[in-house]
Chain A
Amino acid sequence: MTRDDVVEVLLGCLSVLAQEEPDRFKLDLSEETILFGYDAGLDSLGLVMLLLSVEEALHARHGVSVPLMDERALSQRHSPFRTVRTLTDYIIANFG
């Protein structure tokens, strides 16, 4: 699983979310897209929906089990959920 694979999965899941709830998510999709936190695109429920679908897609496409909502992910000094880039970095660093 390469970095590009992860970015592709993330952006794919984000665009599905944005299509399903166009009035809620106005996301310009790139690695710099802000996911969560101050001036975030997603609320906490949206974040959970995104993370669940990313977990499922990574498992389905790359056969890897990537728990994104566990103690480790939540206790990082710098939240991995800030942007597409930070989440990708987190996934590659821990499961790549």
Chain B
Amino acid sequence: MPIGWLLDRMASWEDVEAVIWRAEPVSYEQLLGRARQWRVRLAEDGVGEGHIVALEGGLSPDICALLIALIQHRAVIVPLGPVSDRNRFDFLQIAQGQHVYAFDAGGAVKVSHRPCSPPTGLLRELIARGEPGLVLFTSGSSGNPKAVVHSLERLLWKFQKPRARLRTAGLFRLDHIAGFDSIFYALSSGGTLIVVENYQPDEMCRAIEHHAANHLTATPTFLRLLLGSGACWRHDLSSLQLVTYGSEVMPEATLHVLRKAMPNARFIQKYGLTELGSPRSRSKDSDSAWIKIVDGDFEARVVNGTLQIRTRSSMLGYLNAPDPFTADGWFDTGDAVETDGEYIRILGRKSEVINVGGEKVYPAEVENVLLEMPNVKDVIVRGEPNQILGNIVSAAVSVLEPETAESLGSRMRKFCKGRLARYKIPVKVEVVTDAQYGDRFKKQRAQKG
């Protein structure tokens, strides 16, 4: 039986709170009971072993139980985020989805079935081995989203070793590797998932305070929203002992202020990729962007300034893109890093580097400095083609109080002098009213072309 070890462990936690959703706690015992009901329902719905099943909806105890039932069923799970109808159709086609379980906001489920030919390629191999699977789509900030196929047997392997029991508050997106990771970290260690359903900073802070969360998992952009909205000063966040953040580079200025708002918390940057999962890592210290991968299942090396990782929990491959692994199994992350002994610091995506007359500029470094300026709420730095220099650095800034681009540009040049090399200082400044966030709260930094 797949994940037999996980089910045994969950059963032993009986009335420990597993999921808190809409202020209602659900125990491990209740969750497993609900999973048993789902197995019966799956059979009734004609979902056979090894079928490919898409899931729509945010995390709830019911979806959590269905996830467990589907894994027991050796199904291939395709979580779909809030995508457009067209993307939804494309994603289902690519993932060869046979059944769709769509949950609405009230928690009601609608099941639909799609006519499909027998699975092909990686999916066929996975199903033939009798392993449950997972298909996730990369965010596609550079080009089309790629469909990543994981064996859940491999991906969940690392959770066999029990870890600290935490009460974790978060959004837990199923269609995101970090969300998936957080869910199974908690379920495999007797932890509690405190589910917050929307991106409202006050909701999150209220949940942390009310349910005494000791762990918060979020993106740097969301953490900055907690600060920017003032929500983190309106609530008591002293229960937090650990804040993990990932998926983008954290501006160091933000980290300094966050430490004041959450005085008892250690801050740890997680490094994860849809293709690999997230290794356990350690930060040099709480204020530092330097991390060390301390996970025995992950090997890291730096080749030409780019991080490569090899791990047994990595994906099997893409459904709609060529095999990206080197012959000896290393995955090129595309992330440019600096090294200091065993520690690495993520500079940004290699593909985001702006080449200004032969000099390299990483947008994250410039953004970090600009975020320290007065009257700057958020900023996106990117390259623009230029006939003289090849590219120039441009900044789109959202401001707190109205300000002209001219005045902001002049202040910016003064502020950056001495803080950034001259060629890194944005020469073009634009004031924007709404920050350009992606649907995953990651920055949309596609180059203008």
Real binding pair: yes
Collect the chain A residues with CB atoms within 8 Å of residue B356's CB: 45
Once the chains bind, are A44 and B388 in contact (CB under 8 Å)?
A: yes
Interface bits B405-449 vs A (CB < 8 Å: 1, else 0): 010001001100000001100011000000000000000000000
Once the chains bind, are A44 and B389 in contact (CB under 8 Å)?
A: yes
Once the chains bind, are A69 and B357 in contact (CB under 8 Å)?
A: no
Once the chains bind, are B387 and A45 in contact (CB under 8 Å)?
A: no
Size bin of chain B's contact surface: 10 to 19
Once the chains are docked, how many angstroms separate the CA of A45 from the CA of B422? 9
A62 to chain B minimum Cβ distance, whole angstroms, is: 16
Collect the chain B residues with CB atoms within 8 Å of residue A74's CB: 387-388
Interface bits A33-72 vs B (CB < 8 Å: 1, else 0): 0000000000011011101100010000000000001110
Once the chains bind, are B413 and A52 in contact (CB under 8 Å)?
A: no
Interface residues of B in 341-371 (CB under 8 A from A): 356-357
Please name the residue on chain A nearest to B423 by beta carbon. A45
Collect the chain A residues with CB atoms within 8 Å of residue B423's CB: 45
Q: Which of B388, B413, B422 contacts A47 (CB 8 A)?
A: B388
Once the chains are docked, how many angstroms separate the CA of A49 from the CA of B427? 6
User: Is B392 in contact with chain A by the CB < 8 A criterion?
Assistant: yes
Collect the chain A residues with CB atoms within 8 Å of residue B414's CB: 20
Residues of A within 8 A of B (CB): 16, 20, 44-45, 47-49, 51-52, 56, 69-71, 73-74
Once the chains bind, are B428 and A52 in contact (CB under 8 Å)?
A: yes
A80 to chain B minimum Cβ distance, whole angstroms, is: 12
Q: List 18 A-B contacts (CB under 8 A).
A: A16-B410, A20-B413, A20-B414, A44-B388, A44-B389, A45-B356, A45-B357, A45-B389, A45-B422, A45-B423, A45-B427, A48-B427, A52-B427, A69-B386, A69-B388, A70-B387, A71-B387, A73-B387
Once the chains are docked, how many angstroms separate the CA of A16 from the CA of B409? 12
Once the chains are docked, how many angstroms separate the CA of A20 from the CA of B406? 13
Collect the chain B residues with CB atoms within 8 Å of residue A44's CB: 357, 388-389
Please name the residue on chain A nearest to B394 by beta carbon. A52
Interface residues of B in 375-390 (CB under 8 A from A): 386-389
B357 to chain A minimum Cβ distance, whole angstroms, is: 6
Residues of B within 8 A of A (CB): 356-357, 386-389, 392, 406, 410, 413-414, 422-423, 427-428
Collect the chain B residues with CB atoms within 8 Å of residue A69's CB: 386-388
Collect the chain B residues with CB atoms within 8 Å of residue A16's CB: 410
Once the chains are docked, how many angstroms separate the CA of A74 from the CA of B389? 12
Once the chains are docked, how many angstroms separate the CA of A56 from the CA of B404? 13
Once the chains bind, are A20 and B388 in contact (CB under 8 Å)?
A: no
Q: Which of B357, B389, B410, B428 contacts A20 (CB 8 A)?
A: B410
Once the chains are docked, how many angstroms separate the CA of A47 from the CA of B427? 11
Other A-B contacts than A20-B413, A48-B389, A74-B388, 9 sampled, CB-CB below 8 A, are A44-B357, A44-B389, A45-B356, A45-B422, A48-B386, A51-B388, A52-B392, A52-B427, A69-B386
Please name the residue on chain A nearest to B405 by beta carbon. A56
Collect the chain A residues with CB atoms within 8 Å of residue B427's CB: 45, 48-49, 52
Once the chains bind, are B410 and A48 in contact (CB under 8 Å)?
A: no
Once the chains are docked, how many angstroms separate the CA of A38 from the CA of B427? 24
Please name the residue on chain B nearest to A50 by beta carbon. B427
Collect the chain A residues with CB atoms within 8 Å of residue B389's CB: 44-45, 48
Once the chains are docked, how many angstroms separate the CA of A49 from the CA of B88? 45
Collect the chain A residues with CB atoms within 8 Å of residue B386's CB: 48, 69
Collect the chain B residues with CB atoms within 8 Å of residue A48's CB: 386, 388-389, 392, 427
Once the chains are docked, how many angstroms separate the CA of A71 from the CA of B387? 7
Best-surrounded residue of B356, B388, B389, B406 (most CB of chain A within 10 A): B388
Once the chains are docked, how many angstroms separate the CA of A20 from the CA of B416? 12
Please name the residue on chain B nearest to A47 by beta carbon. B388
The 7 A-B residue pairs with the shortest CB-CB distance, nearest first, are A69-B387, A49-B427, A48-B388, A74-B387, A20-B413, A48-B389, A69-B388
Once the chains are docked, how many angstroms separate the CA of A48 from the CA of B427? 8
Once the chains are docked, how many angstroms separate the CA of A47 from the CA of B388? 9
Collect the chain A residues with CB atoms within 8 Å of residue B422's CB: 45
B419 to chain A minimum Cβ distance, whole angstroms, is: 15
Collect the chain A residues with CB atoms within 8 Å of residue B392's CB: 48, 52
Once the chains are docked, how many angstroms separate the CA of A71 from the CA of B385? 13
A49 to chain B minimum Cβ distance, whole angstroms, is: 5
Collect the chain B residues with CB atoms within 8 Å of residue A56's CB: 406
Once the chains are docked, how many angstroms separate the CA of A49 from the CA of B387? 13
A44 to chain B minimum Cβ distance, whole angstroms, is: 6
Collect the chain B residues with CB atoms within 8 Å of residue A52's CB: 392, 427-428
Once the chains are docked, how many angstroms separate the CA of A74 from the CA of B392? 17
A89 to chain B minimum Cβ distance, whole angstroms, is: 19
Collect the chain A residues with CB atoms within 8 Å of residue B357's CB: 44-45
Please name the residue on chain B nearest to A70 by beta carbon. B387
Once the chains are docked, how many angstroms separate the CA of A56 from the CA of B406? 9
Once the chains are docked, how many angstroms separate the CA of A37 from the CA of B389? 15
Best-surrounded residue of A48, A69, A74 (most CB of chain B within 10 A): A48
